[in-house]
Structure 1
Amino acid sequence: MNPQEQLMAKIDAEFKKYPFKFIGERLKQERLRLGYTAKSVYERLAIAQSTYANYEKGSRDIPASLLFELWLDGFDVSFIVSAERFGSAGVDDDSEPVIRLIDINVPDEQPVLVSDAIVYDLYHIENGLIKVGAIAHKDYELKDLIRLLANKATLDNS
């Protein structure tokens, strides 16, 4: 076997052992890009530490429902799944976001007031929309963010 064939055989063996390795690596890259700790992510997703570790390791498939939750938290799910970044495509730098985080708790803290929690969730929903190229007041309004939050609450309670 020549060196290139040896390398391909090694990659094939690694892929068979960890079929979702590349997705897991990109999941970790996104988490680090956003400044989240692994603990904050698996607690937010309400999953076991070992389950999340297996997602980042690539030894376990990530369900679409969790990818949706990650998207709501600002993860570029398109990048995680396909290695393609769509977050900046078509974004108008002059557009003003609908939701602004002013005087509420930082991401790793639990919001104290229900109103803080609602604004915090709306902010992350909007951040997810912006990352996939949506433009405030053109592609969505506050009412759309509230509908998405209501849908998220319904999913959380089911």
Structure 2
Amino acid sequence: MSATAPAVISDQDQKYIRLAREIVTNLYDIETILKNNKITQNEWNKIQADPAFIKLAASEAAAWHSAGNTLDRTKLKAGAMIEEWLPEAYARMHDRAESLAAKTELAKLISRIAGVGLNDASVAGGGEGVKITINLGQDANLKFEKVVTPKVIEATPTRTSED
């Protein structure tokens, strides 16, 4: 039995793929991308003319713009927008001129983005149902689901003699 050798990607190809992806996603301008990758304008001029880079860029563009990538593309762009907005959110949260209600809503949003204070029950619907899944092997599952109407219990606190 022969083993398949792992594909080896040259450093240049890795650099070209990284550049092509960053350019195609269009999250940063070209100057920022070149600066972040420590590429001079002279090097960039040579890279742009390289047929290997042109082919990789076309491939990355096709993958990025494919219909199957819509959800990932949207998540990435939304995440980048939120990341750029975070310094403003931080400043507003600490601004005494902002209302407490606005700060509270902002704190809730930031907590939700960070996943702070969330558990599976609160994400799944806040206790409006019960779902149990028992895996019995690769192809066998037992599922039990029950929708539960939330009940409100109203009561008036009373004092006991121990109070």
Ranked by relative contact order (alpha carbons within 8 Å, sequence separation 6 or more), the top structure is 1
Specify the structure having the higher radius of gyration (Cα). 2
Shorter chain as normaliser: what TM range?
under 0.3
TM-score, with structure 1 as normaliser: 0.26
Structure (1 or 2) with the greater strand fraction? 2
